[in-house]
Structure 1
Amino acid sequence: MAQATASATIGDSEFDRDTRVTRAEPGLYHADLSAGWTIINAVNGGYLLAVAGRALADALPHCDPFTITAHYLTASRPGPAVIRTETVRTGRTLSTGQASLVQYDDSGAEVERLRVLATYGDLDALADDVRTTALPPSLPAVDQCFGPQDAPDVSPVPGSNAITDRLWLKMDPGTLGWALGAPSGKGEMRGWFGLADGRDADPLSLLLAVDALPPTAFEIGLKGWVPTVELTVHVRCRPAPGPLRVAITTRNLAGGFLEEDAEIWDSADRLVAQSRQLARANLG
C-alpha cells in the first residue's frame, strides 16, 4: 500500500474539523471530542493535546507550539468539552500560556481531563543553522511494512480502535513481534505515519503523531491499555510535505511505569519533533 493520496489539505481535513475549537469569550473555548479518535473507550492523548494546542494557538500571539506539556488527570470521552486558557507571558519571539480541558459527568459535575503548559513561537522565523548527531530511523520501504489492515484478528487492547481508521500507519516488521505473539522484549516501535485522508503534517498534527503508534509496552511483552500520565512535546521545525517516520523507545520499566521517547522525522530528513511521556503499564 502506498502513501495515502493527498486529497485533504491543512485546514480542511478530518483532523482539522475534529480538533476545531470555538471561542465563546476571551480565554474560553468549546470543543466536541470526536469518537473517531478513541482507543478502547477513551480519547487518544495526542488528539486531546492537539485540541488544547489549537485553543492555545488562538489565545496566544504566536501560533506554533515550541514546547507543550500535558498532565492527563482523568480519561476523556467523546462529546462536548470546555477549554479554559490563560496567557502567562508574552514576548517578542515567544509566548507562554496554560490550558485546562474539562468535561461534565452524568450528574453535571465538572471533571478536569487535561492540564497543559506551553510556549509558542514562530517556526518560520527560526535560523537555518542545524548541528546534530541525530540520524533518521532506518525503516524498510513502505511496501515491506505492515498496517492495521494486515494484523491478525487478535488485539492486545480490547475495545475501540477507531483511531486506526483515521491514520496511515505502516509499521516496521522488526517491531511487530507482539502482533504474532512473540514480542522482542526491546521496547521499540518504528513506522511510517500520516493521516488517512492524505493531509500533510503541520505542527499541531505532530502533537498527535508522537502518541499514535502502538505502545512500546506491547513489544516488551505487556498487554492492555497503557494510559499516559504526562507528555511533553518539542516541535523543532515545520514538517515538509510527505510521510513522516516515527521511532519510539522505552529503556526503563519500573514500579509499573515506563517512559516513551519519540522522534519524528520528515521527508526532508529533518528531526521535526521529539517527545517524552510517562505512562502506566499494565503488569497484570
Structure 2
Amino acid sequence: MPEQSAFDRAIATHESGPHTRTGEFTDDWLIGHAVNGGVALAMAGSALAAELGGTGHPDPFVISAYYLAASSPGPVTVHTETVRTGRQVATGEVSLWQDGPEGEPVQKVRALATYGSLDSLPDDVRTAAEPPPMPGPEDCTKALDAPAEAIRGVNILHQLDLRIDPATAGWAVGRPSGRGQLRGWLRMPDGREPDPYLLLMAVDAMPPVAFDLGVTGWAPTVELTAHVRARPAPGWLQIVTSSRNLAGGFLEEDADVWDSTGRLVAQARQLARVPG
C-alpha cells in the first residue's frame, strides 16, 4: 500500500463520535505562528465529505469559511452537520475547534458548504477565463529561493513546490510592482496529484497579494469562499491571485486556478486583514 502523502496526513480526520472527528495540525504548515488557512479549509472540507458521503454528494462545490481565530499546531476537534440533502446537492456545516490557553474549547474555523458530484456535471464550458501567458515552471522562481528574510517562518513552503512568475516576484527583493497580482505554479513535491481538497489549499497557497502592493507582514484571512469547478487533471496547477482594493486595513484577494489542461478548476475570494 503506497505511503500516505504529507498533505493527506495533514488534513486527515478520524471519527470520534456522532458528527465528530479529530485531527491534528503540525508546524509543517505554519505561516508565522498560524496554520495556513487553505490547509484548515481542506481539513474542514475533507471532514464534511465524510459527513455527506452517504448522500451521494462526495465533492465540494462551494465552501465559505470564517476564520474566527488563528489555528495552531496541535489536536483539532471537527464538528459536522448535514443541513439539507437534495437530489443534486447537499449542504453541510463544519467547524474546527482547538483548546485555548486555559484548556477551554475555542472555535477556530466555521464553514457552510454545498457538495455534489463533479463527475456528474455536464461537460459544456463557456468561459472568457484563460490562464495568463507566463513562463513555464522550469523558468519560474522557486519560492524557497527567495531571500531568507522574505520567507522566514513560512514552514509551508517546505511542503510545496511553489514557483513564482519572475514578473510578479519583485516584492521579494524590495521592488513590488504595485499592480496587486501574483502568478505561479504549484505541485506537491512528493508527487501527490491535485484533487478537490488540494484545490481548497491551493487557493490560499500563494504569498499574500498585499506583498505586491508594498505591504509586508502576516495577512490573516477573515473569510474565504472557494468554488471547485471541475476535477483537476494530473500535473501542475497554475495560480493567479489579485486584488483591486486595499482600504481601511483590509483587502480582497481573488484566486483563479487552472489545471495542466488549461481548464479553470477553482476560484476563490477572501477578505484579509493587512498590517497597519
Bin of the TM-score, shorter chain as denominator length: over 0.9
* Aligned equivalents of 1:32, 1:267: Cα separation in 2: 31
Q: Do 2:144 and 2:158's aligned partners in 1 also have CA atoms closer than 8 Å? A: no
Report sequence identity in percent.
Answer: 53
Q: Quick one: which of 59, 63, 69 aligns to 1:64?
A: 59
- 1:142 is matched with 137
Secondary structure (helix, strand or coil) at the match of 1:76 reads coil
Secondary structure (helix, strand or coil) at the match of 1:80 reads strand
- 1:4 is matched with none
In structure 1, list runs of 5 or more residues that go unmatched: 1-7
Q: How many residues align?
A: 273
- 1:254 is matched with 247
Structure 1 position 195 matched with structure 2 position 188: yes
Question: Per-residue CA shift, 1:238-257, capped at 9, x if unaligned?
Answer: 00000000001100011110
Q: Quick one: which of 11, 33, 37 aligns to 1:41?
A: 33
Secondary structure (helix, strand or coil) at the match of 2:28 reads helix
Secondary structure (helix, strand or coil) at the match of 1:154 reads helix
Deviation of 1:52 after TM superposition, in Å, equals 0.7
Normalised by the length of structure 1, the TM-score is 0.93
Structure 1 position 131 matched with structure 2 position 119: no
- 1:163 maps to amino acid: I
Structure 1 position 179 matched with structure 2 position 172: yes
Deviation of 1:162 after TM superposition, in Å, equals 1.1
- 1:170 is matched with 163
Deviation of 1:34 after TM superposition, in Å, equals 1.7
Deviation of 1:267 after TM superposition, in Å, equals 0.6
Q: Do 1:165 and 1:196's aligned partners in 2 also have CA atoms closer than 8 Å? A: no
Question: Per-residue CA shift, 1:79-125, capped at 9, x if unaligned?
Answer: 00101111100012100000111101131111100000000000000
CA RMSD of aligned residues (A): 1.4
Q: Do 2:62 and 2:227's aligned partners in 1 also have CA atoms closer than 8 Å? A: yes
Deviation of 1:149 after TM superposition, in Å, equals 2.9
Structure 1 position 21 matched with structure 2 position 13: yes
Structure 1 position 79 matched with structure 2 position 71: no
- 2:115 is matched with 120
- Structure number with the bigger relative contact order (C-alpha 8 A, sep ≥ 6) is 1
Q: Could you list the runs of 4 or more consecutive aligned residues of structure 1 that deviate by over 3 angstroms after TM superposition? A: none
- 1:243 is matched with 236
Normalised by the length of structure 2, the TM-score is 0.96
- 2:211 is matched with 218
